[in-house]
């Protein structure tokens, strides 16, 4: 038996993949992240998407304006890659000092990805500029071909898109976001240090059975979809391995209750209200709490060439219940991940 500590002190973590939305939704969710994390890579899949440095600047100002008084939180902005993104936008991004990456959504792969990229061949000049200037490409790694089984879309993407991309741009910094398969883990491990991967708490905690436990569970539905247990085991092994190529990215993705509990429900799990606690629970379950700080607080900053944080947070081993719902939009609440369930670790105020 592992000797589980009652307290866990960590250098304040960062979230390297987060959806903050905009307007009232942003105002409702931002404090959850700002309470736990010093920085977050903010996803650009708004409507319309954040495709330029000017739009990223305006979005960043809205985020800063929505922060609770006294909060110290630095939103790290991203640009949404389209087939018309010009390479001079990459120069502007690097010069801005607040844009830290470019997000590649295969067109149609997920929420608000219609303006994404159908064929990376149309982005050659832009990718070459990113490679030259060291601006990372963050990849939603799924093919969109409906003839490919949804559980195979990540593995097929690796073979048909990612491997050629590595060959064509060997010095391009690349993050395979929200890895959900053993193939994703193996791919990242086999690459040099230009390549890293993020892992979500929900993919570390659940396998695909959780989508159908006693009935259809829309709040466990996200993209890429949960996979079978052997894959979850591979993700957990990667997260707790101490390998700096793997770091924390929550992919917390809020959607109002009525749009999740619907005939065609939205993809996304809201984890920001308990996220570092959920990771602690996943690491604790395999006796690897000593590996949490590197994964949550160090390796991502190192990959992005940013300084590590210096302040701390404390987690206490004390069970609490995740609320059934949180305030979100007028008359439409937000059902968090593991709503109503107990969780073993609590953030000390
Ligand atoms: C995300 C969202 O809702 O914006 N949804 C999700 O299931 N993860 C988009 C994404 O990251 O795929
Ligand atoms: Zn996401």
Instruction: Give the orientation angle of helix 23-36 with respect to helix 275-285, to 10 degrees.
Output: 50
**How close is the Cα of 105 to the center of ligand 1, in Å?**
10
pLDDT digits (tens, 9 = 90+) for 202-212: 999 999 999 99
Nearest to 226 by CA among 150, 144, 140: 150
Long-range contacts of 105-110 (CB under 8 A, 24+ apart): 105/45, 105/80, 105/81, 105/140, 106/140, 106/142, 106/143, 106/144, 106/157, 106/161, 107/144, 108/144, 109/140, 109/142, 109/144, 109/223, 110/45, 110/140, 110/142, 110/223, 110/267
Residue 110, pLDDT score: 84
Cβ partners under 8 Å of residue 182, min gap 6: 230, 231, 234
- Alpha-carbon distance of 67 to 298, in angstroms, equals 24
Catalytic residue among 57, 251, 290, 332: 251
177, 78 Cβ separation under 8 angstroms: no
Residues near ligand 1 (Cβ within 6 A)? 19, 45, 110-111, 140, 222-223, 251, 253, 267-268
DSSP line for 134-189:
TPPEEE------TTS-GGGHHHHHIIIIIHHHHHH-TT--EEE-S--SHHHHHHHH
Look at strands 342-347 and 312-321 and give their pairing.
antiparallel
Name the residue ranges covered by the structural domains of the chain.
Answer: 13-308
Residue 328, pLDDT score: 98
pTM over 0.85: yes
Return mean pLDDT, the chain.
97
Cβ partners under 8 Å of residue 38, min gap 6: 12, 13, 14, 72, 73, 74, 309, 311
For the domain spanning 13-308, the CATH number is 3.20.20.140
**How close is the Cα of 282 to the center of ligand 2, in Å?**
20
Q: Residue 2 pLDDT more than 80?
A: no
> 302 catalytic, yes or no?
no
Residue 4, pLDDT score: 66
- Alpha-carbon distance of 286 to 251, in angstroms, equals 22
39, 105 Cβ separation under 8 angstroms: no
Residue 1, pLDDT score: 43
Mean pLDDT of 82-101: 97
- Alpha-carbon distance of 271 to 252, in angstroms, equals 5
Nearest to 117 by CA among 93, 135, 136, 142: 142
Q: Which residues pair with 316 in a beta bridge?
A: 7, 346
pLDDT digits (tens, 9 = 90+) for 276-310: 999 999 999 999 999 999 999 999 999 999 999 99
- Ligand 1 pocket: which of 106, 111, 217, 224 to mutate (most atoms within 8 A of CB): 111
């Amino acid at each position: 038996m592992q000797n589980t500590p009652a307290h866990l002190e960590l250098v304040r973590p960062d979230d390297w993949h987060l959806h903050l939305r905009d307007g009232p939704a942003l105002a409702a969710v931002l404090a959850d992240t700002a309470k736990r994390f010093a920085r977050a890579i903010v996803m650009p899949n708004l409507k319309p998407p954040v495709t330029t440095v000017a739009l990223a600047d305006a979005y960043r100002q809205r985020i800063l304006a929505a922060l609770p008084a006294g909060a110290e939180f630095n939103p790290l902005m991203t640009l949404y890659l389209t087939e018309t993104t010009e390479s001079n936008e990459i120069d502007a991004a690097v010069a801005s000092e607040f844009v830290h990456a470019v997000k590649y959504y295969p067109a149609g792969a997920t929420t608000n990805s219609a303006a994404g990229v159908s064929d990376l061949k149309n982005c050659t000049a832009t990718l070459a500029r990113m490679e030259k200037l060291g601006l990372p490409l963050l990849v939603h790694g799924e093919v969109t071909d409906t003839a490919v089984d949804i559980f195979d879309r990540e593995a097929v993407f690796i073979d048909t898109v990612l491997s050629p991309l590595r060959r064509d741009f060997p010095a391009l910094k690349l993050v395979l976001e929200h890895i959900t398969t053993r193939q994703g883990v193996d791919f990242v491990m086999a690459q040099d240090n230009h390549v890293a991967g993020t892992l979500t708490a929900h993919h570390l905690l659940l396998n695909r059975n959780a989508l159908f436990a006693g009935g259809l569970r829309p709040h466990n539905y996200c993209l890429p979809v949960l996979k079978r247990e052997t894959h979850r085991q591979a993700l957990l092994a990667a997260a707790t391995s101490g390998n700096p190529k793997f770091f924390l990215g929550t992919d917390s993705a809020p959607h109002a209750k009525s749009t999740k509990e619907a005939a065609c429900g939205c993809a996304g799990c809201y984890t920001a209200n308990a996220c570092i606690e959920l990771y602690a629970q996943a690491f604790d379950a395999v006796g690897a709490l000593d590996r949490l700080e590197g994964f949550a607080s160090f390796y991502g900053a190192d990959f992005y060439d940013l300084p590590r944080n210096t302040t701390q947070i404390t987690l206490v081993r004390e069970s609490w219940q995740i609320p059934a719902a949180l305030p979100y939009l007028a008359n439409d609440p937000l059902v968090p991940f593991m709503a109503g369930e107990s969780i073993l670790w609590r953030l000390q105020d």
